[in-house]
Amino acid sequence: MNYEFFIAKRIIGSKAYKSSISAPIIKIGIAAIAIGIVVMMIAIATGIGLQQKIRDKVVAFNGHVTITKYDSNNSQESVSPISKNQDFYPEFKAVTGVSHVQGVASKFGVIRTETDFEGVYLKGVGADYNWSYFKEFLLEGELPDYTQNRNEEVLVSQYLANRLHFKVGDKFQMVFAKDDPEKIPNIITYRVKGIYNSGFQDLDAQYIIGDIRHLQRINRWEKDQVGHFEVFISDYNSLDETAAQIHQNISSLLDSETITDRYYSIFEWIKIFDKNIYGIIGIMILVAGINMITALLVLILERTRMIGVLKTLGSSNWGIRKIFIYNAAYLILLGLFWGNILGLGLLYAQKYFKLFPLDPSVYYVSEAPVYISLGYIIALNIGTLILCLLMLLVPSFIITKISPVKAIRFD
């Protein structure tokens, strides 16, 4: 054990240290570190959590990459069919990172009841549809089963169910217009199998989920034809690279579009969260560092006589500085300890008890989502400790200016 660490340990453990004039300043410094860690953890957890939630909601309705025909129009309605007989279906073996491919179609129709009507898109899906996202969204009833015979079961959003007064088991008619306005429209009677709520009201208000075979019959498509393909990938961080490979491995008659391009404004908006997180981290570390600098200067002033004695006994300036840096490191670690306990407590409380709601019309989620990972927690603690200690090197330089003779006389 070096003597600097030994002296720092004795100072920390002494009763005089805890009842000294600097004690309130030290407590404020510890509190600043703790509060800073809490705020930074909340900023990271909610920022990343919100990004992931919004991203997952958009992906649930569209996949990560959409494959369509080049001659498709810009509307959400499927016009030109695509054959399922593609090299990339049902498994995209040519590109690594693709987890699932599904064929879907959509058609605009009008829901008609005795008292109301609503224009929505019926998203037709088949036996290959990935229901993993909607399992989380499901509120009432069950998910439809389209693996057997064609049926009239549909999944309706809670938003539409409230507007049209639907309950699980209710039946309603949906009218689909034909290309020739003089012809009688197609009318299908559907039954509500389940009610979901993604929290993304813009999409909940547009879509109901039904059997694609109805749309194939209405559009006079073959059984192996779909409106477009939705491709899911296993790693969102490699979306651009994987999307580029997907585009290279599909027919020249087909086009691909990433979810970030299709919903550009939404994904640009959630990118701003990163800047907010970095800004909050920077401010909190600066505030915590300034408080620790103040605490360190008070400690040095309070122990000026001890500094003079140590210099008289032959201690180097750097050795004495290390004593106070060890002391400050202890205070920082103490603040980090309490900050982590309080921060993790708040995050887990929000995760399991949903204490802080959000407006879904603004944030696309009904409560503040949190992302908790050991990786960023460790990085945040280590980064805060290192940066605060680096900031303390400058004020500790004042020790080199203290004269041993004047310090011993200091009262």
User: Contact at 8 Å (CB) between 325 and 400?
Assistant: no
Q: Provide the pLDDT for residue 73.
A: 59
Diameter over CA atoms, the chain = 107
Q: Provide the pLDDT for residue 364.
A: 82
In angstroms, the CA 204 to CA 139 distance is 13
- 10-40 b/e (C-beta count within 10 Å ≥ 16 → b): ebeeeeebeebebeebbeebbebbbbbbbbb
Q: Provide the pLDDT for residue 15.
A: 60
Q: Provide the pLDDT for residue 18.
A: 58
Half-sphere exposure of 319 (CA within 13 A, CB side): 14
- Going by pLDDT thresholds of 50, 70 and 90, the confidence category of residue 72 is low
- 365-385 b/e (C-beta count within 10 Å ≥ 16 → b): bebbbbbbeeebbeebbeebb
Q: Provide the pLDDT for residue 37.
A: 96
Q: Provide the pLDDT for residue 409.
A: 64
Token pair 């030290």: residue: 26
Distances 262 to 25, 59, 243, 252, 257 between C-alpha atoms, Å: 54, 11, 13, 20, 7
Which has more confidence, 383 or 319?
A: 383
| Residues 6 or more apart whose Cβ sits within 8 Å of residue 336 | 33, 34, 37, 381, 384, 385
| Percent of the chain topping pLDDT 90 | 65
| Residues 6 or more apart whose Cβ sits within 8 Å of residue 168 | 140, 141, 192, 193, 194, 195
* pTM, entire model: 0.84
User: Contact at 8 Å (CB) between 72 and 79?
Assistant: yes
Q: Which DSSP string corresponds to 204-267?
A: HTTEEEEEHHHHHHHTT--TTEESEEEEEES-GGGHHHHHHHHHHTS-TTEEEEEHHHHTHHHH
- Going by pLDDT thresholds of 50, 70 and 90, the confidence category of residue 6 is confident
Question: With 60 as the cut, is the pLDDT of residue 16 above it?
Answer: no
Question: With 80 as the cut, is the pLDDT of residue 408 above it?
Answer: no
In angstroms, the CA 151 to CA 190 distance is 9
- Going by pLDDT thresholds of 50, 70 and 90, the confidence category of residue 85 is very high
Q: Provide the pLDDT for residue 97.
A: 94
Measured from the Cβ of residue 345, the count of other Cβ atoms closer than 10 Å reads 11
Q: Provide the pLDDT for residue 411.
A: 54
Q: Provide the pLDDT for residue 9.
A: 83
Question: With 70 as the cut, is the pLDDT of residue 187 above it?
Answer: yes
Q: Provide the pLDDT for residue 279.
A: 94
Among 71-75, 336-340, 347-351, 352-356, where is mean pLDDT lowest? 71-75
Measured from the Cβ of residue 279, the count of other Cβ atoms closer than 10 Å reads 11
**Mean pLDDT comparison of 19-28, 69-78, 317-326, highest-scoring range:** 317-326
Question: With 90 as the cut, is the pLDDT of residue 27 above it?
Answer: no
Question: With 70 as the cut, is the pLDDT of residue 20 above it?
Answer: no
pLDDT in tens, 238-257: 999 999 999 999 999 999 99
Token pair 């087909």: residue: 254
pLDDT in tens, 105-122: 999 999 998 888 899 999
- Going by pLDDT thresholds of 50, 70 and 90, the confidence category of residue 399 is confident
In angstroms, the CA 24 to CA 18 distance is 9
Q: Provide the pLDDT for residue 17.
A: 56
SS3 percent helix, strand, coil of the chain, rounded to 5, is 55, 20, 30
Question: With 90 as the cut, is the pLDDT of residue 2 above it?
Answer: no
Q: Provide the pLDDT for residue 405.
A: 64
User: Contact at 8 Å (CB) between 107 and 215?
Assistant: yes
pLDDT in tens, 125-161: 999 999 999 999 999 999 999 999 999 999 999 999 9
In angstroms, the CA 201 to CA 85 distance is 35
Query: Average pLDDT of 338-345?
Result: 96
Question: With 70 as the cut, is the pLDDT of residue 410 above it?
Answer: no
Q: Provide the pLDDT for residue 1.
A: 55
Question: With 60 as the cut, is the pLDDT of residue 338 above it?
Answer: yes
Helices (H) and strands (E) in the chain, counts: 15, 12
Overall residue count recorded for the chain in this entry: 411
Which has more confidence, 92 or 363?
A: 92
